[in-house]
Structure 1
Amino acid sequence: MDSLAKTPCGPDTALAEESAEELYDSAPCGYISTLPDGTLVRVNQTFLKWMGYSREELLGGKRFQELLTGGGRIFHETHCVPLLQMQGAVNELSFDLVRKDGQRVPVLLNTVQKKDASGKTLFHRTTLFDITDRRNYERELVLARKRAEEATRAKADFLSMMSHEIRTPMNAIIGLSNLLGQATLPPLYQEYARILQSSSENLLVLLNSILDFNKMEAGKLMLEERRFDLRQLLHGLCSTLSVKAEEKKLSIRVEFDPEVPNALLGDPVKLGQVLTNLLGNAIKFTEQGAVTLAVRRLHGDAEGVFLGFKVSDTGMGIPQDQLTQIFEAFTQASYDITWKHGGSGLGLAICQKLLALHGSKMRVESVPGEGSSFAFDVRLKIASGAVALDAPAEDLQDTQTLQGLKVLVAEDTAVNVFVLSQFLRRWGVDFDVVENGRRAVEQVQARPYDLVLMDLQMPQMDGCEATRLLRRLPGERGRHLPIIALTASALLGTDAQVADAGFTDVIGKPFMPRELFAKLALHGSRLGAAPRARSGEAPPCQERGASEAAGGGPRFDLEKFKSLAEGDRSAEIELNTLAIGTFEKQKQDLRKALEAGNVEAFDFHTHQLKMPLALMKPRVLLKALDQGRKLIEMPGSQASRLRDVIRTIHEELDAIVDALKEDVREKAGVPVHRVGPCTSMWD
C-alpha cells in the first residue's frame, strides 16, 4: 500500500513532468535567440522544421541576416536594427526567410533586447509567426479585387456601348414622334402619336437613370460649382412638371422661405435632378390632393447657408416595413406599384447617391393612405453680386426666337439629319449640312455661321478633331464660335473628351426638341444671333416685337400674376395698381441704366421685376432685357442697337401696363390713375 501511494500517477503528475524546454521546442511559432551582431545561439524545433536545417548547421556561426532575402537584409540593417536600438523592441515586421532548399517562408517578426544590470545588450530574443496562409489570403483578395474592377469596367463599357446603339434609333423615334404630335391627324392617330411619344420619353428616362447609376458606381460623377438662382430653378422644375400634375387635376404648391438667398453657388443640375425625381414620384403616386415643395433656411453665415428641402404629397403612402427598401437600386415598395405605375426603382437610389456627394442623406416619413414626405438638407455657398434676369428656356419657344439663325450641322447619319432638319426648318433656322468634320472645317472657313452642331463620331474626321482645328483658326471667330457636340455616347470619358476639344456645350442623342431649342437660343444669341435686319426692314428688336404683336402668339400672360389675389376682386385691383406704378418707374430706371452703361443698376432694376415677369412670361421683353444686358457689357456697342432695345423694352412694358389698366377698369368700373411704385413687393 505504501509503495503504491508513492508511485506518481494522474494528470497533475503528467503535466508536471512536461518541462519548459519541451514547451519551447514544440511551440507553434518559431523562437530564436541571437547575439547583438545577429549570430544565432538558440533555436527551437519549430524553426528548424520550417527552415530545413539541423541545429548544428544553424548554431555553428550562422547569422540571422543570412537567412533573409537580399531586400530583407537591406531592410533589416537600415530599419530594423536602428529601430531596435532606439526602442529596445520591434513588433510586427514582415520578412521572407530563405529555406535550405531555396523556398521562401513569409514570417512576422517580433524582437526584444535583453540587457544586463548595467544596460549592456546581451542578446536578442525573437518570435516568428508563419504567415504563409495570410499571405495567400491577401494575394487572393488582391486578385479578387482586380477581377471585380475588371468586371465593373467591362459592365461600364458594355452599358456605354449599348447606350450608344440604343440612342441612335431612339433619336429618330423621339424626334419623329414629336413631329407627329404637332401634325394634324385624325383623333385615333393623335392618340397613337401621344402613346408613342410618352413611351419613348419613358424609355429615355430609364436609359439615363441606368447610365447615371453606372457613372456613380464608377466614381465618375462629381459636383460642379456655378452660380444659379434657386427661385428660378424651382420655377422651371414646377413649370415642367405642371403638365403631368394638371392631367391628374393635382396642384403643385411651393413654400419658399423669404430668407433664402437668391444667388447661390452649387450644382443646380444635380440638385434639380433630385427635386425633379421627388416631385415626379409624388405626382405619380398621388391621385387626388396636392404636391408641396417646401424650402427653408435652417442656418448659415456670410459664406454659406444650410437649406432644408421637403417634398410632400397626399398619395398612397408607403408601409413602415418597406421604408428601408425603397432606396435600394432596382427596388420598389411592392410589385403592385411596378405593375401599375411602372419605373425601374432606380430614382431614389440615384437621389441618395447624389445627396451623398453633397454630404447629405434623404429622410422619409409616410403613412399609408395619407401620403409621404421626403426631406434632405444641403449646404450651398452664397454668390456675391446681383443675378441677371434669365428667362426659362420653355418661355422662349416661339417661332421668332431663332428666326434667321445661321447654323452648320455636321452629321453623317441620314435619319438624324432628317430629324434635325424638320425642327430647324420649323423654327426658321438657316442651316447647311455636311457629312464629316473635314467638310465642317472647310464650310466654316467659307461661310460665317452663328453656331455649329457637331456630331462626335463621323468618317474621315471626327467632331473632336474638327473642333480643335476650328479653335485654332486665325482671328476671333474660330475661338468664340459656339460649337455644340451631338453625341449618343455615354462612355465615362466622353465628358472630359468633349471639354478638352473645346466644345461650348453638349446635347445627348436622343434629344428632346425643347432641349435643342433652348441650347440654340442660349448660345446662338451670344454672337448677336437675333434675326439680322435686311435692307429697308426694321431693326431686330423692333421687328420682333411687332411680329409678336401681329400674330406670333400672346406677348405675355396675366393669369398667373392675377392668381396671387386668389380670386379677391379688391385685392386684384390693388395688385394691378401697384404693378402699374412699379412698371412705369422701372421703365425710366432701365432706360437710364442702359444709356449710362451701368451694369449694377440694370441688374438691380431687372431683379425688382423678376417675380412679376416670371409669372407674366413676357417673351419679347425678356429677350430685350437679356440683349440689353449683353450690350452694356460689350465695349463699343452701337448706340443704334441700344436705342432699339430701349424702345422695345418701353413698348412691351407699355403693353403690359395697358392690359393691367384695362383689367382694373373692367373690375372697378373707374379710370386708373398713376400711382407711386411699390418695388418692395417684388423682393
Structure 2
Amino acid sequence: MISIALEHDHDDFLKYSLSGYISTDASGKIRSANPKMLEWIGCGIEQIIGKPVSSILSIGSRMFYETHLSPLLKLNGAFEEVSVELLVGNGNRLQVLMNAYLRNDEHGKANFIRLNFYRATERKVYEDNLRHSIVDKESTLQQERELAILREQFVAVLGHDLRNPLGAIKSGAALLKRSAQSDRDKAILATIDRSTFRMEELIANVMDFARVRLGDGISLGMKPVMIEPVLQHIVDELTITFPSREVRTEFIIKDFIFCDPDRISQMVSNLLANAITHGATTDPINVVAWLENDQFKFEVRNGGSQITESVLSTLFEPFTREATTPSQQGLGLGLYIASQIAIAHKGTLTASSDSNETVFNFCMPASL
C-alpha cells in the first residue's frame, strides 16, 4: 500500500517527475532544478546555480525570453505553453513547452519564479511534417532568403530613421547650451546628453548584432593609425557625458597601429560604458594602453562587486550581462559587440574579476 505521506510528498513528485522543473530568484537566476531537468541539459546542479534561466536556452529562444517572455512575466505574473529550445548535454536542442509563474510575498514584492518544461518532440515532428507537406523545400529556402533580406533591410532602415531624430535632439540640446541656463536647465541638458549617448550606442550595437547574426560579420576598414588620440577622444567624450566619474589614463604608444580606428573606438567606448554602468561609483576607472612585442594591448580596470565565475563564462554572449545584473541601461549587447570587434582584428578580449576589481584585457597584432 502506498503511504499517504509519500503520495503527497512534493519533493518525491519533483524527483520522479517526467517533466523538468526550475526555481529561480526574482531576477531569474537559477536556485534549484529537479533531476529530469538536469538529465535533459546534461549537467549537475552546481553548474547552473546562479546562472540566468535563459542561459540553458538556444540563442533564438534566449532572445525571445529576454525581450518578450521576461517582461511578460513581470507584467502578467505568468505565461503558458510557450515553445522554446533547450540546450541539451549532447550539443543538440530539445523542443519543449515552457510554463512560468512569478510568486510575490505578502507585500506584493517579487519573491521567486517557478518554471516547468514539457517535452514537445512529437508535437514538433507533427508540425514539421505538416509544414513540409504544404511547402516544398525549395519554396521554404526561398522564403528564408527573402526573410533574411527583409530583416537586414529593416535593421538598416530602423538605424537610419532613428539616427535622424536623434541628431535633431543633439543639435537642439547643443543650441540650448549656448543660452543662459538655470541649474535645473543644466541638469536637464546633462540628462539629454547621457540619454542620446546611450541611444547612439544602442543603435550601433543592434545594427552590428544583426549583421553578425545574418552572417556578414563585423566589417573593418584597416589602416595605419596613431591610436593614442583616438583613445583619448573616447575617454574625453565619456567623461564629458558622465562628469561625476573619474577616468585615469596611461597611454604609451608611439608607433602606428594597423586597425580600424572607428571599430576600436566603438570597442573602447563599450568597455568604458560597461565600467561606468557596472563599476563602483566611488572608485576611479583606470585605462591603460601600450605596445609589447608587436602586440597592441588595452586594459580597463574598475572597482565594484566581484563577478562570479558562472557569470564570467557567459559575459561576452548577447543579453547575458543585463540578465544577471540588470542596469536598465540597454540590451546587454555592448560586451558581445566588443568581443566581435576583437575577433575581427584577430585579437582577444578577456575578463577577470576579484573582490577588488574587474579587468578587461584586449590584445591584437599591432601590424600586418
Specify the TM-score bucket, using the shorter chain as the normaliser.
0.5 to 0.7
> 1:330 corresponds to which residue?
319
2:227 to 230, 238, 243: 230
Counterpart contact for 1:265–1:381, Cα < 8 Å: yes
8 Å contact 2:226–2:256 — kept in the other structure?
A: yes
Query: Alignment identity in percent?
Result: 19
Q: CA deviation at 1:350?
A: 0.6
- Counterpart in 2 of 1:444? none
Provide Cα deviations, 1:287-333, integer angstroms capped at 9, x if missing partner: 1222222334342xxxxx22232222112332221112221223325
Contact 2:352 2:360 in 1 (8 A): yes
Q: Is contact 1:314–1:372 with CA below 8 Å preserved after alignment?
A: yes
* Rounded Cα–Cα distance in structure 2 between residues aligned with 1:293 and 1:157: 37
Structure 2 partner of 1:171: 167
What letter matches 2:352 in structure 1? E
Going from structure 1 to structure 2, the CA distance change for 1:271 and 1:141 (only over 3 Å counts) comes to: farther
Q: Structure 2 matches for 1:165-564, cutoff 5 A?
A: 165-218=161-214, 219=216, 221-244=218-241, 246-248=243-245, 250-254=246-250, 256=252, 260-284=253-277, 285-299=279-293, 305-332=294-321, 334=323, 336-339=325-328, 342-367=329-354, 369-381=355-367
| AA at the equivalent of 2:272 | L
**1:491-640 correspondence to structure 2 within 5 Å:** none
**Aligned AA for 1:270?**
R
Structure 1 spans left out of the alignment, 5+ residues: 1-135, 300-304, 383-683
Rg larger for: 1
Separation in 2, partners of 1:380, 1:353: 18
| Distance of aligned partners of 1:141 and 1:221 in 2 relative to their CA distance in 1, 3 Å threshold | farther
Deviations 1:627-675 (A, max 9, x none): xxxxxxxxxxxxxxxxxxxxxxxxxxxxxxxxxxxxxxxxxxxxxxxxx
| Superposition deviation, residue 336 in structure 1 | 4.5
Taking the aligned partners of 1:153 and 1:210, their CA distance within structure 2 comes to: 16
Residues in 2 aligned to 1:381 and 1:179: alpha-carbon distance in whole angstroms: 43
> Which AA in structure 1 matches 2:237?
T
> In structure 1, what is the Cα distance between the partners aligned to 2:138 and 2:226?
47
* Cα pair 2:302 2:358 within 8 Å, conserved: yes
SS of aligned partner of 2:236: helix
Paired residue type of 2:337: I
Whichever residue aligns with residue 192 of structure 1, its letter is: I
Per the alignment, do residues 292 and 187 of structure 1 end up closer, same or farther by CA in structure 2, a change over 3 Å counting? closer
Query: 1-side partners of 2:260 and 2:233: how far apart?
Result: 15
Q: Distance in 2 between matches of 1:324 and 1:141?
A: 38
- The amino acid of 2:356's aligned partner reads E
Distance 1:344 1:243 in 2: 23
Higher mean displacement: 165-174 or 345-354: 165-174
Once the two structures are TM-superposed, the CA of residue 245 in structure 1 deviates from its matched residue by 5.8
Distance in 2 (CA, whole Å) between partners of 1:265 and 1:273 is 16
Q: Structure 1 CA distance, aligned partners of 2:225 and 2:274?
A: 25
SS of residue matched to 1:193: helix
Cα 1:268–1:166 change in 2 (3 A) is: closer
Please list the CA deviations of residues 115-160 of structure 1 after superposition, one character each: whole Å capped at 9, or x if unmatched: xxxxxxxxxxxxxxxxxxxxx9xx9777655444332221111122
Q: Which moved more, 1:170-179 or 1:329-338?
A: 329-338
TM-score by length of 2: 0.56
Q: How many Å separate the matches in 1 of 2:136 and 2:321?
A: 36
Secondary structure, aligned partner of 2:321: coil
Letter in 1 for 2:263: K
Aligned pair count reads 235
Give me the whole-angstrom Cα distance separating, in 1, the residues matched to 2:269 and 2:193: 20
Contact 1:332 1:338 in 2 (8 A): no
Q: 1:363 to 1:173 in 2, by over 3 A?
A: same
Secondary structure of the residue aligned to 2:353 is strand
Q: Please report how far the alpha carbon of residue 372 of structure 1 lies from its aligned counterpart in structure 2 after TM superposition.
A: 0.9
Which residue identity does 1:374 align to in structure 2?
A: F
Quick one: structure 1 residues 177 and 262, their matched pair in 2 at CA, closer, same or farther if it must change by over 3 Å?
same
Aligned residue for 2:288, secondary structure, equals strand
Q: Distance in 1 between matches of 2:346 and 2:137?
A: 30
In structure 1, the residue matched to 2:29 is none
| TM superposition shift of 1:182 | 2.6
Question: In 2, distance between residues paired with 1:228 and 1:371?
Answer: 31
What is the DSSP-based 3-state SS (H/G/I as helix, E as strand, rest coil) of the residue aligned with 1:224? coil
Alignment check: 8 A CA contact 1:317 1:370 kept: yes
CA 1:199–1:333: 2 relative to 1, 3 Å: closer
Q: Which has the higher contact order (CA 8 A, sep 6+)?
A: 2
Q: Is the 8 A contact 1:209 1:346 kept in 2?
A: yes
Q: Comparing both structures, which one devotes a greater share of its residues to strand? A: 2
Aligned counterparts of 1:141 and 1:252: Cα–Cα separation in 2? 58
Structure-1 separation of matches of 2:157 and 2:213: 17
Q: Extract unaligned runs of 5+ from structure 2.
A: 1-131
SS of residue matched to 1:252: strand
User: What letter corresponds to residue 163 of structure 1 in structure 2?
Assistant: G
Question: In structure 2, how many angstroms separate the alpha carbons of the residues matched to 1:168 and 1:213?
Answer: 20
| Distance in 1 separating the partners of 2:236 and 2:313 | 31
Q: Secondary structure at the match of 2:198?
A: helix
Root-mean-square deviation over aligned CA pairs: 3.0
> Would the alpha carbon gap of residues 352 and 178 (structure 1) be closer, same or farther in structure 2, given more than 3 Å must change?
same
Q: Aligned equivalents of 1:309 and 1:371: distance in 2?
A: 16
